[in-house]
């Protein structure tokens, strides 16, 4: 029986499933692995189930050139915390859990769109403060989402699920920025230039994968191109946004507001960002439902089982 190291506590059903087929060592700690922990894990275990924040970079593999571990079965669709090329060079395969996160993450995007446009977080803070003086005709006027224009950067599974909700749920015009045109069952227009796309949008959503190619994709030039009333939503990866540029855009009222579920230096959130009433801040809730996290875990276990049988894992990246 192969020895499996699980780097964070997972739903009980997932842990039980893992123990049926593997000799499991479960780390009872929710913080990311240290560099020392990662090196130890690569040397001591046959397979590892890591997740976001466990930074298996090139240096880690360079320090363990002949690891015992032969598979990193990542818990999550995003795997930019793993240097896949360095892993493969060391003889370590990498898998992920696509599909399971799609609907839950798209739902959080819509949640943030509504909260930001309708000033919901600001309103809740007002009620909790005890300073709400009652309804009046000009109280906390926000932006109506129906029939507005949404611009989505990244039209993978999650981007398409967001677009579908915007089109059918709010009757929004859908624009998207993507490497290739995507066939969809509703009207959506591909725009090749990101700045041109955001310039005509009421809501801009970041749904691109993380990594060097998309780091700081949303920078000062993109925010300056947006309309003053427009809202920016990020449910992808924190590093796709130049956080300093976003803060400046919000402080200077270059854009109307923002809704964020991820942060550039997560879990650190700048004080300047938290001080702004025009930004809604969530603690990375994108996939935070028991059903979704269980499904993600079971997909990771399926990848591990296939690998243990000598088969190609279904979600090899």
Q: Which of 81, 237, 293, 305 is catalytic?
A: 237
- In whole angstroms, give the CA distance from residue 284 to residue 159: 17
CA distances in angstroms from 182 to 163, 191, 214, 280, listed in the order given = 12, 12, 19, 30
75 Cα distance to chain centroid: 13
- In whole angstroms, give the CA distance from residue 299 to residue 43: 24
Q: Which of 68, 157, 216, 284 is catalytic?
A: 284
Local structure of residue 82 (DSSP, 8 states): B
Return phi, psi of residue 113, to 5°: -60, -50
Query: Is 237 in the active site?
Result: yes
The CA-to-CA distance between both ends of the chain, in Å, stands at 25
Residue 113: helix, strand or coil by DSSP? helix
Q: Which of 27, 68, 216, 266 is catalytic?
A: 266
Query: Is 16 in the active site?
Result: no
Residue 56: helix, strand or coil by DSSP? strand
Which residues participate in catalysis according to the annotation? 237, 266, 284
């Amino acid at each position: 029986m192969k020895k499996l190291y699980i780097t964070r506590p997972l739903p009980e059903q997932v842990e039980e499933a893992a123990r049926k087929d593997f000799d499991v060592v479960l780390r009872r700690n929710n913080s990311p692995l240290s560099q020392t922990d990662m090196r130890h894990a690569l040397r001591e275990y046959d397979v590892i189930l890591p997740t976001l924040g466990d930074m298996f970079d090139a240096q880690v593999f360079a320090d363990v050139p002949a690891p015992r571990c032969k598979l990193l079965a990542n818990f999550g669709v995003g795997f930019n915390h793993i240097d896949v090329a360095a892993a493969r060079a060391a003889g370590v395969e990498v898998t992920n859990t696509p599909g399971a996160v799609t609907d839950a993450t798209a739902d959080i995007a819509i949640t943030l769109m509504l909260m930001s446009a309708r000033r919901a977080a600001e309103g809740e803070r007002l009620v909790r403060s005890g300073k709400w003086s009652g309804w009046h005709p000009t109280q906390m006027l926000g932006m109506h989402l129906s029939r507005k224009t949404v611009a989505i950067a990244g039209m993978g599974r999650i981007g398409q699920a967001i677009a579908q909700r915007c089109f059918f749920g709010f009757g929004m015009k859908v624009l998207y920025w993507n490497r290739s045109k995507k066939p969809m069952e509703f009207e959506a227009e591909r725009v090749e230039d990101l700045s041109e796309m955001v310039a005509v949008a009421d809501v801009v959503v970041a749904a691109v994968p993380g990594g060097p190619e998309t780091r700081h994709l949303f920078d000062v030039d993109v925010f300056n191109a947006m309309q003053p009333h427009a809202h920016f939503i990020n449910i992808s990866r924190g590093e796709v946004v130049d956080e300093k540029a976003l803060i400046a855009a919000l402080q200077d009222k270059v854009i109307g507001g923002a809704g964020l579920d991820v942060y550039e230096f997560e879990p650190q959130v700048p004080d300047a960002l938290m001080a702004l009433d025009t930004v809604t801040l969530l603690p990375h809730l994108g996939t935070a439902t028991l059903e979704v996290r269980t499904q993600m875990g079971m997909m990771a276990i399926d990848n591990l089982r296939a690998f243990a049988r000598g088969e190609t894992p279904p979600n090899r990246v």
